């Protein structure tokens, strides 16, 4: 029987901030979405203040003004680097693992002779000591039960952050499933939870006891797998090699509404440059490029315009210049004067990676001089920070930058922002 562990960081983004701000160890913290829009991470203390997940910033600004809450703009450069350190540390203790998201990973503990709970505690202790981040570990015979155990480990302080499903008696397992709503189960979102409730399936236990054949007919194979996994039959495997991405999207809302084509073009050129760099970092080329343009969807009084168009690239490419040219041409097709724009984005599709890319014998070799130029671009931007070297197109318009009024330094990735010892 397989054994999976799910390890995830507690209030991950906020915990990353705390590593460099020990003065905030016990205080309520929230981290905001891009553009300081809404709350996406809350510490336990912030939850205790009654702050909702997804609450718009203005709802919590009051608490901040009174000094009851510390607010951070999201700093993905910092979180991504802390994530890498956390994953490297976990890799030093488990034979195989899968990075599932920025703050969590699955590990395969099948066949290990160690007691799973002890191993879970070792993982927690090492991540805490080496990286400074608090984690919880859930262990079970399926990924879904590992997730569920992790959820229980978070909820019940008595468990000291680790729960092995296999260590519970059948009676305790039944009680645990009965104590949580079906919506807490991985793979059951709001819509499915509503439909399940209509069938009298309210708790995780109800779901575990549902007839898989009936569930399959009503909801398809995905939910059927959830039911089987809840009963300890593993249907999902550990994917330790990440499949290459199939598409890449890069878009941001603006800090303020934009009317002029040039400002849109500057923002779009910026997103395209970032997307092209991401593409090169994973060794892919794109065959298709798209641009999307949006007005502010929450401003009902404004005329709305939402447009998107695609263009096949003559040659699949990861070249910043070629992609930017194509993106700007699409923008000029889509742009209509007179609207107040809130967001622009670039989409790259038909990505080819690795072997698939080699097999594309129709694609001519990229010009070596151009390759050297792109290599230099990536090297400089990696060493001195993204955006150090960029195209002129990014600089022709202003006013589109994100709002990030509570940004912390990139303590670990920029020389000029290293933490100093006082």
Q: Can you give the binding site for DNA, defined by CB under 7 A?
A: 33-35, 37-38, 40, 54, 56-58, 100-104, 147, 186-193, 220-222, 243, 245-253, 271, 278, 296, 298-299, 343, 345
Q: If 0-12 CB within 10 Å is exposed, 13-18 middle and 19+ buried, where does residue 34 land?
A: middle
Each as own residue / partner, the long-range contacts of residues 303-311 (CB below 8 Å, 24 or more positions apart, any chain) are: 303/338, 303/339, 305/336, 305/339, 305/341, 307/334, 307/336, 308/334, 308/347, 309/333, 309/334, 310/347, 310/349
Q: Could you tell me the smallest distance in angstroms from the CB atom of residue 222 to DNA?
A: 5
Q: Could you tell me the smallest distance in angstroms from the CB atom of residue 232 to DNA?
A: 19
Those residues with Cβ within 8 angstroms of residue 183's Cβ, 6 or more apart along the chain or in another chain? 189, 190, 193
Q: Could you tell me the smallest distance in angstroms from the CB atom of residue 196 to DNA?
A: 9
Of 115 and 246, CB closest to DNA: 246
Of 249 and 359, CB closest to DNA: 249
Q: Could you tell me the smallest distance in angstroms from the CB atom of residue 28 to DNA?
A: 20
Q: Could you tell me the smallest distance in angstroms from the CB atom of residue 228 to DNA?
A: 14
User: Which of these, 61, 1, 68, lies nearest to 28 by C-alpha position?
Assistant: 68
> Locate tokens 């742009």: which residue?
335
Of 129 and 301, CB closest to DNA: 301
Of 144 and 412, CB closest to DNA: 144
Backbone angles phi and psi of 28, in degrees to 5: -70, 130
Of 55 and 112, CB closest to DNA: 55
Q: Could you tell me the smallest distance in angstroms from the CB atom of residue 161 to DNA?
A: 17
Q: Which helix (H) or strand (E) holds 9?
A: strand 4-9
Task: Report CA-CA distances (Å) from 244 to 36, 237, 281, 336, 357.
Answer: 31, 17, 12, 36, 11
* Angstrom distance (rounded) from CA 221 to CA 15: 37
* Angstrom distance (rounded) from CA 309 to CA 291: 6
Instruction: Tell how many helices (H) and how many strands (E) occur in the chain.
Output: 15, 12
Q: Could you tell me the smallest distance in angstroms from the CB atom of residue 154 to DNA?
A: 12
Of 44 and 370, CB closest to DNA: 44
Of 136 and 421, CB closest to DNA: 136
Q: Could you tell me the smallest distance in angstroms from the CB atom of residue 234 to DNA?
A: 15
Of 1 and 249, CB closest to DNA: 249
Angle (nearest 5°) at CA 273 between 324 and 258: 75
Backbone angles phi and psi of 317, in degrees to 5: -155, 160
> Locate tokens 């263009």: which residue?
311
Of 107 and 193, CB closest to DNA: 193
Q: Could you tell me the smallest distance in angstroms from the CB atom of residue 244 to DNA?
A: 8
């Amino acid at each position: 029987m397989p054994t999976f562990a799910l390890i995830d960081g507690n209030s991950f983004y906020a915990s990353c901030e705390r590593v460099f701000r020990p003065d905030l160890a016990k205080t309520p913290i929230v981290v905001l979405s891009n553009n300081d829009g809404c709350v996406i991470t809350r510490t336990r203390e912030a939850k205790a203040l009654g702050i909702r997940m997804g609450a718009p910033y203005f709802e919590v600004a009051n608490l901040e003004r009174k000094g009851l809450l510390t607010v951070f703009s999201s700093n993905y450069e910092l979180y991504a680097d802390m994530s890498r350190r956390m994953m490297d540390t976990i890799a030093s203790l488990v034979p195989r693992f899968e990075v599932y998201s920025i703050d969590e990973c699955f590990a395969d503990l099948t066949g290990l002779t160690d007691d799973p709970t002890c191993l879970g505690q070792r993982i927690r202790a090492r991540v805490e000591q080496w990286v400074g981040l608090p984690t919880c570990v859930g262990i079970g015979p399926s990924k879904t039960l590992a997730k569920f155990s992790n959820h229980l480990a978070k909820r019940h302080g008595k468990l000291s952050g680790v729960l092995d499903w296999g260590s519970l008696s059948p009676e305790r397992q039944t009680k645990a499933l009965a104590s949580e709503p079906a919506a807490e189960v991985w793979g059951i979102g709001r819509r499915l939870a509503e439909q399940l409730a209509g069938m009298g399936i309210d708790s995780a236990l109800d779901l575990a006891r549902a007839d898989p054949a009936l569930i399959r007919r009503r909801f398809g194979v995905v939910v059927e797998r959830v039911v089987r996994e809840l009963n300890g039959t593993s249907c999902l495997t550990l994917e330790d090699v990440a499949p290459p991405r199939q598409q890449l999207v890069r878009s941001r809302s603006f800090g303020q509404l934009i009317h002029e084509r040039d400002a849109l073009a500057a923002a779009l050129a910026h997103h395209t440059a970032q997307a092209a760099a991401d593409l090169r970092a994973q060794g892919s080329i794109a065959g298709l490029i798209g641009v999307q343009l949006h007005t502010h969807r929450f401003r009902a009084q404004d005329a709305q315009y939402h447009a998107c168009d695609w263009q096949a690239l003559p040659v699949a490419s990861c070249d910043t210049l070629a992609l930017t040219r194509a993106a700007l041409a699409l923008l000029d097709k889509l742009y209509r004067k007179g609207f107040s724009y809130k967001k622009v984005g670039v989409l790259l599709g038909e990505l080819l990676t690795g072997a698939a890319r080699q097999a594309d014998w129709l694609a001519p070799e990229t010009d070596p001089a151009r390759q050297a130029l792109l290599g230099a671009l990536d090297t400089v931007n990696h060493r001195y920070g993204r955006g150090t070297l960029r195209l002129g197109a990014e600089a022709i318009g202003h006013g589109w930058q994100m709002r990030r009024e509570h940004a912390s330094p990139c303590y670990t990735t920029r020389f000029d922002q290293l933490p100093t010892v006082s």
